[in-house]
Amino acid sequence: MKALIIGSGLIGTTSAYFLARRGWEVTVLERQEGPGLETSFANGSLLTPSMPEPWNAPGTWRVLLRSLGRSGSPLKLRLKALPHLGSWGIGFLRHSSPQRYERNTVKNLRLALHSLEVLAGLRRELGIEYGGAAHGSLRVIRDAAALERALAWGERLRAQGGLDFRRLSADEIVAMEPALAPIAHRLAGGIHYPVDEIGNAYKFCVGLAEHARARGVEFRFGTPVTAIEVGRGNVTAVLSGKSRFTADRYIVAGGSYSPLLVKALGLAVPVRPAKGYSLTFEHPRLEPPFRLPICDDDFHAVVVPLEGMIRVAGTAELAGYDLSLPEARIQNLLTLVRQVLPAAGFERAQAKPWCGLRPMSVDGVPIIGPTPIGNLWLNTGHGHLGWTMAAGSGQLLSDLLTGGSPSVSPEAYALARFAAV
Ligand SMILES: Cc1cc2nc3c(=O)[nH]c(=O)nc-3n(C[C@H](O)[C@H](O)[C@H](O)COP(=O)(O)OP(=O)(O)OC[C@H]3O[C@@H](n4cnc5c(N)ncnc54)[C@H](O)[C@@H]3O)c2cc1C
């Protein structure tokens, strides 16, 4: 069987690899000159089953409304994005009821935990070097009531999805990560999630693409898809300018651009871009070196030690497909990272800023599986968890296409779930 995949980010590349491993003939069309050059490029580098919550938590509408006048808000709505959001915006709020939020969180948790197992298998088999480390992550919390709430919520996730974690006092946090000593007096406590990992998503993507190529996958870089041709309820070809590509199955893994790719086919994919920023510091001054990734609840930011560098990532803006890098957002992240690791002496001049568009599905859960168009499939909408879920999502898609036995329940991630809402 022949598959044609649109997009060579983390999701398209893992899909290609697993399909090739099942003996399929795979071609990947990617507009960039290599794999992983868009949202998968300089993300937070965290593989965190511990953060399975969709971003439309109960009460999100209040956060969004407040954000309209504030540039430092972690979740920000830009007025100019409203026309792009349309019914997605209403759906985003509708999915924020406590019941749906919890159900969707558990779906993400199951896929994330499974994905880390699949990734471990890939590491063993292929030995891809991507700066990975598996010491868990630390979540630090300043407010005592917020800490109790986080622990109670964690117990629910432990019961429903098997999330492992351990409560830590401020002293235990410092024992685990001495770089946090300067802020220990401000902390009510924290949580260690042993399952979490870190790794350079871009390097992984490039490494896995090499292995996929060795298994016969043809990557056509610099190939922007301009149209998808449909006849009698099936895709008949994918076009890039004058070039025409055909296959038995077509898979859209175009990240935030997935809805645009299939819009002309009358297919509404409920995914919109949620812009995020990262800063990378290549030569941080920290003695002893910083070892564990930190999620700071109060600042809604993550600070991650990555191959001798430090990367800070955070914020989500519903701002359409805008890829500008405003200085105010960079300064915002700089202020955050200085408050988490004040001893590191972070300077603006050392910071390498980047932004990307998280493909955010309307319920915060990825969309993996068939569409009403016979041979057209989706693997998209992974939001803030695309690196965490990449290996498991690629494997799930290939299981579904090749008649394998999925290790997670595929209905939870099917596009058809929206028809039932
Ligand atoms: C600031 C930030 C921090 C993040 N931190 C984390 C983290 O710590 N952990 C985590 O798990 N996730 C994180 N994420 C999310 C994660 O990066 C994404 O979910 C993931 O990269 C999505 O992968 P993708 O393959 O779906 O999309 P992409 O990487 O965007 O890939 C889609 C590909 O499709 C191609 N494409 C699109 N349209 C066309 C077309 N017309 N023709 C040809 N090709 C096309 C694009 O060029 C692109 O290469 C973060 C995201 C951001 C922005």
Q: What is the pLDDT of residue 419?
A: 84
Instruction: State if residue 253 touches ligand 1 by the CB under 6 angstroms criterion.
Output: yes
84-121 confidence digits (pLDDT tens): 778 898 898 899 999 999 999 999 999 999 999 999 99
6 C-alpha to center of ligand 1: Å?
Answer: 13
- Model confidence, pTM: 0.96
Element (H, E) at 317: strand 309-318
CB of 334 closer than 8 Å to CB of 376: no
CA distance 335 to 348: 10
286 C-alpha to center of ligand 1: Å?
Answer: 31
176 C-alpha to center of ligand 1: Å?
Answer: 32
Instruction: State if residue 341 touches ligand 1 by the CB under 6 angstroms criterion.
Output: no
Nearest 5°: phi and psi at 200? -80, 105
* CA trace torsion 151, 154, 156, 160 (10° rounding): -160
Element (H, E) at 262: helix 258-263
Beta strands in 75-217 (DSSP E): 75-77, 137-141, 166-168, 189-193, 197-198
**Measured in Å, how far apart are the chain's first and last C-alpha atoms?**
34
Instruction: State if residue 319 touches ligand 1 by the CB under 6 angstroms criterion.
Output: no
277 C-alpha to center of ligand 1: Å?
Answer: 13
Q: Within 10 Å of residue 72's Cβ, how many Cβ atoms?
A: 14
Instruction: State if residue 113 touches ligand 1 by the CB under 6 angstroms criterion.
Output: no
Q: Within 10 Å of residue 70's Cβ, how many Cβ atoms?
A: 9
Q: What is the pLDDT of residue 63?
A: 74
117-148 confidence digits (pLDDT tens): 999 999 999 999 999 999 999 999 999 999 99
Q: What is the pLDDT of residue 155?
A: 98
Mean local confidence (pLDDT), 69-73:
62
Mean local confidence (pLDDT), 62-82:
70
Q: What is the pLDDT of residue 83?
A: 72
Closest Cα to residue 208, out of 302, 128, 106?
128
Average pLDDT score, the chain: 94
CB of 5 closer than 8 Å to CB of 15: yes
Domain annotation for the chain: domains and CATH numbers: 2-418 (3.50.50.60)
The token pair that represents 353 in the structure block: 């800023």
CA distance 120 to 195: 12
CA distance 227 to 224: 9
Q: What is the pLDDT of residue 87?
A: 86
| Best probe residue, ligand 1, of 8, 41, 137, 384 (max atoms within 8 Å of C-beta) | 384
Q: Within 10 Å of residue 159's Cβ, how many Cβ atoms?
A: 10
The one-character DSSP state at 81 is: G
Q: What is the pLDDT of residue 230?
A: 97
Amino acid code (one letter) for 369: G
Residue 304 alpha carbon, nearest atom of ligand 1 = 8
Nearest 5°: phi and psi at 295? -110, 120
Report the helix count and the strand count for the chain, using DSSP H and E. 10, 20
CB of 209 closer than 8 Å to CB of 8: yes
Closest Cα to residue 28, out of 253, 359, 265, 262?
253
Upper half-sphere CA count for residue 188 (Cβ side, 13 Å): 14
Residue 12 alpha carbon, nearest atom of ligand 1 = 25
